[in-house]
């Protein structure tokens, strides 16, 4: 039985917070019909008949579906179905809610403020940027401003995702509420992990985290400071005035992984050399082989030919890629792998590199390098840099991907199988489990 709150005939008190929270949790923080994170509370059986607030009799509906219910465009049978089958029941995120565009957007992070003048169409401002990925950016398109944002907990799990003004919220949190422009997420009673004002024309961060690969920024107590670094950096009461495109407010880069990655022109920037997690996507079959200590590397030559036209490749392509095989990783757990693949988290990139390179060390003429993986538009610039042997051409902007390349002279097949007990040790699989 659910919680109930009775009242007299001439009084209709507000729904108690504990009951509202139970209802939010039941419907996974979105409209029962469409999953929107903007919703009202309503009684399935009218309050005038039951004279009580009972959790089983309450449903949450977006303004559109609330209106449809009130005007009898949603039948009782259909509402009963949605009560038992909420839209967000088996979804990790709510459906999107569109924030309108705006002529200007005010950004406040703790006691820090950002003022941006785009100056040109298709401009972008990176408010918060971590090792090649914007976690908070402003966009100027068709004369209007929108913003994109990924807010996480301290472990890097996404709580809120906004893409050019389309907002969705994690349905896996303990509690979420959005009243007026104030949005809060809790991990328990009194334990607020996200507290922001968010609307189409302003974003004010009171309590928030932006974390990827173990490093990032945290806003609390009117300050903003770096976390997961060798030393914290605080920013209190700063004001940034940025004009044009590509600039930003706060940036972090992990030099241990992104040695040649250029930061936008930040007002505050911090360089670190800490290690990061690696994320590797494997099919079920590949994962089973990985558990047995075997991994297949792909031919770089075939990949180059598949990805770029002849005119886009350097004249000495064969010399650069023949006999080279690679494994692709990323330090961004939110980049998705191929359909049906599973993600394997390697807590130390170098450990995986060392395992594979040691496994091929006995092969004549083999060696390994780490190389960048950049969009094709930057190839000419990156080819002039001393970074591994080459930089791979690709049409996709996957700046956060990393490759371990193994060079094996004389091997010309499309795959190179590497087997080593080091992989089993890396996964913590004991020999006794064979």
Tokens encoding 332: 């961004």
Tokens encoding 199: 């609307």
List of long-range contacts for 71-76, beta carbons under 8 Å, 24+ apart? 74/33, 76/44
Question: With contact defined as beta carbons under 8 Å apart, do 176 and 185 qualify?
Answer: yes
pTM, two decimal places: 0.66
Structure-token match 């509690």, residue found: 175
E runs forming strands in 28-164 = 40-43, 52-54, 58-61, 97-98, 106-109, 112-117, 123-130, 133-141, 144-152, 158-163
Tokens encoding 354: 């060392």
Tokens encoding 336: 């998705």
Listed in sequence order, the residues at least 6 apart from 122 whose beta carbon sits closer than 8 Å to its beta carbon are 140, 141, 245
Closest CA to 213 of 260, 298, 274, 300: 274
Report in angstroms the alpha-carbon separations of 291 from 348, 350, 352, 356, 359: 17, 19, 14, 14, 16
Listed in sequence order, the residues at least 6 apart from 292 whose beta carbon sits closer than 8 Å to its beta carbon are 419, 424
Quote the CA–CA distance of 20 and 14 in Å, as a whole number.
10
Quote the CA–CA distance of 434 and 347 in Å, as a whole number.
24
The pLDDT tens digits along the chain (434 residues) read 455 555 555 567 788 889 999 999 999 999 999 999 999 999 888 777 777 878 888 999 999 999 999 999 999 899 999 999 999 998 999 999 999 999 989 999 988 888 888 878 888 998 988 877 889 999 999 899 999 999 999 888 899 999 999 999 999 999 999 999 999 999 999 899 999 999 999 999 999 999 887 788 899 988 888 887 655 566 656 677 777 777 777 888 766 566 556 666 665 545 555 555 667 778 888 888 888 888 888 887 777 676 655 565 566 666 667 788 877 776 655 555 667 777 777 766 667 777 777 777 655 555 555 444 444 555 555 444 433 334 444 444 444 556 677 777 778 888 888 888 888 777 764 333 33
């Amino acid at each position: 039985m659910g919680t109930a709150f009775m009242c007299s005939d001439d009084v209709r008190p507000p729904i108690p917070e504990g009951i509202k929270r139970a209802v939010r949790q039941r419907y996974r923080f979105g409209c029962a019909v469409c999953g929107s994170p903007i919703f009202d509370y309503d009684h399935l059986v009218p309050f005038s008949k039951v004279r009580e607030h009972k959790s089983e009799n309450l449903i949450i509906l977006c303004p559109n579906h609330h209106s449809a219910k009130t005007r009898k465009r949603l039948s009782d049978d259909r509402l009963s179905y949605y009560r038992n089958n909420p839209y967000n029941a088996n979804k990790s995120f709510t459906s999107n809610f569109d924030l309108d565009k705006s002529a200007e957007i005010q950004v406040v992070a703790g006691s820090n403020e950002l003022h941006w003048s785009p100056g040109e169409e298709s401009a972008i401002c990176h408010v918060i940027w971590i090792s090649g990925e914007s976690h908070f950016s402003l966009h100027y398109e068709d004369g209007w401003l929108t913003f994109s944002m990924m807010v996480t907990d301290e472990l890097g799990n996404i709580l809120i995702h906004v893409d050019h003004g389309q907002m969705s919220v994690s349905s896996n949190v303990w509690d979420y509420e959005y009243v007026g422009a104030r949005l809060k997420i809790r991990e328990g009673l009194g334990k607020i992990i996200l507290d922001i004002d968010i609307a189409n024309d302003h974003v004010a961060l009171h309590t928030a985290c932006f974390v990827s690969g173990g490093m990032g920024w945290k806003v609390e107590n009117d300050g903003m400071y770096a976390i997961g670094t060798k030393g914290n950096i605080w920013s209190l009461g700063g004001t940034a005035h940025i004009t044009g495109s590509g600039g930003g407010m706060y940036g972090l880069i992990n030099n241990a992984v992104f040695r040649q990655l250029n930061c936008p022109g930040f007002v505050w920037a911090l360089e670190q050399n800490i290690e990061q997690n690696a994320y590797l996507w494997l099919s079920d079959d590949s994962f089973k082989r990985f558990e047995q200590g075997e991994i297949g590397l792909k031919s770089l030559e075939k990949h180059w030919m598949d990805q770029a036209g002849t005119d886009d490749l350097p004249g000495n392509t064969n010399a650069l890629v023949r006999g080279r095989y690679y494994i692709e990783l990323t330090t961004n757990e939110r980049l998705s792998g191929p359909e049906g693949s599973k993600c394997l988290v390697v807590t130390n990139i170098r450990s995986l590199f060392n395992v594979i390179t040691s496994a091929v060390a006995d092969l004549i003429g083999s060696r390994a390098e780490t190389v960048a993986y950049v969009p094709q538009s930057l190839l000419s610039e990156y080819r002039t840099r001393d970074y591994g042997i080459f930089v791979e051409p690709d049409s996709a902007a996957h700046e956060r991907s990393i490759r371990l390349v193994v060079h094996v002279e004389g091997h010309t097949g499309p795959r190179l199988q590497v087997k080593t007990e080091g992989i089993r040790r890396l996964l913590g699989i004991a020999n006794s489990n064979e």
